[in-house]
Amino acid sequence: MDIETFLDKWLGKEGGAERANYQMFLSELCDVLGVTRPNPAHSPNNMNDYVFERGQTFTGPVVHIIDGDGLCVEVPNTNVEGTKVGDNWVEVRIADFYAPETSEPGGTEATQALTRIAFGKPVSCKADHRSYDRVVAQCFLDGKSLGDLMREAHIAEGGRAYKPKPVPAAPAPVEP
């Protein structure tokens, strides 16, 4: 695709959801610029150096609590020269904590706890992947993961994606 075709395709379009189109836009932009497109994500994660979002870090204050494992982090927008031109936010699903859904038992308590722990405070996050419309990321507040802080606050896990970690069996007693 040449630059004129690319510009004709993407300039002045309305009605398309940005989130629904950004990967196609960026892939085609890579083609126009003559650079390699991002690779598909793989498991194990050590092969994911050049994929959409994975491994990206961002920091900023928590500006909204969605539920017991979801929040929004404000990140600055900058222009080409690095000058701040406005604010934006990233919707995050906490990677290391599975809160009950808000309508489930414990869901409201989890949301209230995350609000007490993180709202208005600066966090540092590392993106892993996208789940629905959120970036799944591990976020840290003063060097501690938000998941650990929620567990320290005695908030029960139990959302629909929660898989309890197996408890190792106690070793059998040794016969004298």
145/104 same-domain check: yes
Distances (CA, A) of 53 to 21, 48, 49, 144: 15, 10, 10, 22
Whole-angstrom Cα distance, residue 130 to residue 71? 14
92/145 same-domain check: yes
pLDDT in single tens digits along all 176 residues of the chain: 788 888 888 877 665 555 567 677 778 887 888 877 766 665 555 555 544 556 778 889 999 999 999 999 888 765 445 545 456 788 899 999 999 888 888 889 999 999 999 999 999 998 887 777 778 889 999 999 999 999 999 998 886 655 666 656 666 667 66
26/55 same-domain check: no
pTM of the entire predicted model: 0.61
Structural domain span for residue 18: 3-33
Q: Strand 134-141 vs strand 84-94: parallel, antiparallel, or unpaired?
A: parallel
Bond from prior residue into 61 cis (ω within 30 degrees of 0): no
Half-sphere exposure of 172 (CA within 13 A, CB side): 3
58/142 same-domain check: yes
* 96-126 residue pLDDT tens: 999 988 888 888 999 999 999 999 999 999 8
At 90, the amino acid letter reads: V
59/24 same-domain check: no
Whole-angstrom Cα distance, residue 103 to residue 175? 51
Domains in the chain, number: 2
127/101 same-domain check: yes
15/93 same-domain check: no
Question: DSSP secondary-structure letter at 144?
Answer: E
> Quick check: is 18 in a domain?
yes
CATH of the domain at 83: 2.40.50.90
Helix (H, G, I), strand (E, B) or coil at 164: coil
Q: What does the pLDDT read at residue 62?
A: 93
10/78 same-domain check: no
24/107 same-domain check: no
> Quick check: is 44 in a domain?
no
> Quick check: is 160 in a domain?
no
Contacts of 91 (CB under 8 A, 6+ apart): 66, 70, 71, 72, 133, 134, 135
